Structure 1
Amino acid sequence: MNLALWIAAGLLAAVALTGGVTKTFVPKEKLAAAHGGGWTGDAGVGFVKTLGVLELLAAVGLILPAALGVAPVLVPVTAVCWVLLMAGAMITHGRRGEFAFVLLNLAYLALAAFIVWGRFGPESFTG
């Protein structure tokens, strides 16, 4: 179970890192033209960049606290935040009729929920 949770956290951290780098450093106009990025055309630059920074922080928060043994409770807390972020992403894509992205966000949400359950529950770092 511990290995599965580490793998899930690693996969989710890779997703967060990729999305975070893209939203933080790619110009909004280029994002809006990309497949699945149309929502950025309706959002302000600051909002998109803020989401990018939050995703970068999530990538760090899913791995480093446990790997370094410093406040490892931040791993499931970060996963809870990711669940909330994905719920918002699902609403946004759903309103735009982008149901393939809703399903993708649902998969990311499920992965984060697994981490929340496992790290607050049977494979807690504190127990």
Structure 2
Amino acid sequence: MHIAYWILAGLLALFYLYAGGLKVSRTQDQLRPMMAWVDQIPMPAVRLIGTLEILGAVGLILPPLTGIAPVLALVAAIGLALIQVGGIVVHVSRGETRVIGLNIGLLAAAVATAWLATSWL
């Protein structure tokens, strides 16, 4: 189970470091072509989401790697799953049901990672 955790957590961490980094570092105009929803959400909230994604990615890797508070990996995976639930709600409310495939895939991966993270407890 540890190997499966590291594979899935590593892929999720890479994705969320990239996506969160974009949300934290780019302007609204730079994000708009990739994420049309940034027009309806205040930029401080977008920056907060990006920061939470980065913290979630770090939380998936560092606690199990160091052995310090490995329960934080489970908390991080649950947090990333909740971010995707929020993303699905935003897309559905905007009538963008065709684009929630990525959100559903990331939600499933985060839930699977949370389940695998219980092996660290």
TM-score per shorter chain, which class?
Answer: over 0.9
Q: Give the deviation of 1:99 after TM superposition.
A: 2.9
CA-CA distance at 1:100 after TM superposition = 4.1
Q: In structure 2, what is the equivalent of residue 39 of structure 1? A: 37
Determine the C-alpha separation between the residues in 2 that align with 1:45 and 1:8: 30
* Map of 2:15 onto structure 1: 15
Distance (Å, rounded) in 1 between the aligned partners of 2:50 and 2:83 = 11
Question: Which runs of no fewer than 5 residues in structure 1 stay unpaired?
Answer: none
> TM-score by structure 2 length?
0.93
- Deviation by residue 1:24-49 (Cα, 9 ceiling, x = unmatched): 000012212x13x1100111111111
Aligned-partner Cα distance in 2 for 1:101–1:55:
20
2:63 to 62, 65, 71: 65
- Computed over aligned residues only, the root mean square deviation of the Cα atoms, in angstroms, reads 1.2
CA contact (8 A) 1:29 1:41 kept: no
User: Identity rate of aligned residues, in percent?
Assistant: 38
Query: CA offsets per residue over residues 8-66 of structure 1, 9 Å max, x none?
Result: 1011111110111000000012212x13x110011111111111111110110010111
Which runs of 5 or more residues in structure 2 are unaligned? none
Structure 1 counterpart of 2:6, one-letter code: W
> How many residues are aligned here?
121
Cross-structure match for 2:4: 4
8 Å CA contact 1:16–1:59 kept in 2: the answer is yes
Regions of 4+ moved over 6 Å: none
